[in-house]
Structure 1
Amino acid sequence: MPAGVSLESSPALKITKDGTVIDGKDIKGDIVVIADNVTIRNSRIQGGGWWAILQRKEARGLKVENSEIYGGGGEPLEFAILNYGGDITVRGNNIHSMMSAVQTSHGLIEKNYIHDPHEFPGSHVTLIASNEGSPIGLPLTIRNNTLLNPLEQNSCVSVYQDFGLNHDVLVENNLMAGGGYVMYGGKGKYGTPYNIKFINNVISRRYFPKGGYWGWLATWDERGKGNEFSGNVWEETGKSVAIP
């Protein structure tokens, strides 16, 4: 959020009009988006419960930019941004004090500072997660973010197969540290993931000697067509990060 921006207090919002722009708001409560091409920018959103910002399945084109999104109210925040809908852009935000920052199977996540997650009983702390490949054919790009997870679970970036085969994920030019593993690579029960790329990332040992508590990479599947793990280096030495 730009310095010097004056914010207007606002309660929770439900956005139903296409093209709505939320700008310069200080929102205590969640934002539920059920319209297309909504923009949230230059705002502060303090959420609790399941999400701070939700794009529902009937919506698409949400942009969240230059904002602060965080928990810390009367109840834990599970997801800062949760996407069940179409394309989404999450750019230039400060996201913290939540269990998970962004969960989506597609979209663009770039230039965010995601840090200081909170752990609660039964929590599952993953800063950015995709639980399956996009069912609507859109890729997921995660680039130029700073992702810092000092906790012993779960990751900075997770490509999972909780609900289906994962595919078409690009993770590049991020600084990442911490979690149980820094990265999960997509191997799972639904088959061989494909077009999963971890390229030119910087992995830090600032929290744990192996990058994450257990290591830097889990569930990587070299068999998948187009899968690539290359150009990743350790922050402290500049040496190459190998596939374990």
Structure 2
Amino acid sequence: MHNGDLTITRAGTVIDGLDIRGMVKVEAPNVTIRNSIVRGRDLNGPMALIGNLGGYENLRIIDTELFPSTPSPDVQGIYGYNFEATRLNIHGVIDGIHITGGNVAITDSWLHDNLHYDRDPNQGGTPSHDDAIQIQEGSNILIEGNRLTDAWNASVQVTQDRGDVENLTITDNVVDGGGCSINLAEKSHGPLRGVVITDNTFGRNTRVDDCAVIARSSTKVKMARNYYTPDDTLVVVHAG
């Protein structure tokens, strides 16, 4: 057990089998966190259970659970870029994974049961904008083999709030929930490039009818073999 925050500053550090009662901040390359649980602490502002906002290279998070001991509208799951997230169980947070740059792979993980507040102080008292995965900027992003459910806003929300998003692949996932499950917003950065969405299974529990994927017509999405369950209807892009 580790009580308190954990800041990792030594390159190549391996955290294995640790119960962390605090927040984890990565400040070194080639860090591995595996077979662990991160529970966080009381917060007085937005913060991630695991933060790599500096984009230190080759962060690997494997076979680990992220579940805050204290629910809060401030608590996020993973924040940053240049990381691999493999076989994770993330729940009880606002955003499960928040991507702020490129070179990210999220595979074989379960992101579910997001925190949601009808009056979220971080949203000016309006409902939380909780996502399983939010992408603000970056290229070379892979989302493969995951189960993404229970987010109120979207399972995958591309905002382009920080910059361009390109070379995004979403494949072989089970996806459900949200206003629309996958929302590809352009904002001021224009069309997304290199978006591939293939071989996914979508539920119909969206607030907008038949809205598995929404995008503007200017964003060209390579779609193949995406179906609704249980009726196996082919998914098409909803016009945004």
**Normalising by structure 2, what TM-score?**
0.86
Q: Which residue number corresponds to residue 46 of structure 1? A: 39
RMSD: 1.9
CA distance in 2, matches of 1:75, 1:224: 35
Counterpart of 2:149 in 1: which secondary structure? Answer: strand
Distance 1:59 1:96, change over 3 A: same
Distance 1:235 1:162, change over 3 A: same
Counterpart of 1:100 in 2: which secondary structure? Answer: coil
- Residue 9 of structure 2: which of 16, 19, 43 is its match? 16
Q: Which residue number corresponds to residue 175 of structure 2? A: 176
Offset of 1:223 from its aligned partner?
A: 3.6
Offset of 1:56 from its aligned partner?
A: 3.2
Offset of 1:74 from its aligned partner?
A: 6.1
Q: Which residue number corresponds to residue 73 of structure 1? A: 70
Q: Which residue number corresponds to residue 124 of structure 1? A: 129
CA distance in 2, matches of 1:188, 1:200: 27
Q: Which residue number corresponds to residue 5 of structure 1? A: none
CA distance in 1, matches of 2:168, 2:23: 28
Counterpart of 1:189 in 2: which secondary structure? Answer: helix
Offset of 1:188 from its aligned partner?
A: 2.6
- Residue 214 of structure 1: which of 200, 208, 230 is its match? 208
**1:59 maps onto 2:56 in alignment:** yes
Contact 1:23-1:42 within 8 A present in 2 as well: yes
Report how many residues are paired: 223
Offset of 1:57 from its aligned partner?
A: 1.3
Offset of 1:180 from its aligned partner?
A: 1.5
Q: Which residue number corresponds to residue 234 of structure 1? A: 228
Runs of 4 or more consecutive aligned structure 1 residues displaced over 4 Å after TM superposition: none
Contact 2:71-2:92 within 8 A present in 1 as well: no
Q: Which residue number corresponds to residue 3 of structure 1? A: none
Listed one character per residue, the Cα deviations across residues 150-202 of structure 1 (whole Å, up to 9, x for unaligned) are x5x31001122212222111011100110121011243321121101111110
CA distance in 2, matches of 1:100, 1:74: 13
Distance 1:24 1:115, change over 3 A: same
Distance 1:18 1:176, change over 3 A: same
Structure 1: which 5+ residue stretches go unaligned? Answer: 1-7
Contact 1:47-1:80 within 8 A present in 2 as well: no
- Residue 115 of structure 1: which of 106, 112, 115 is its match? 112
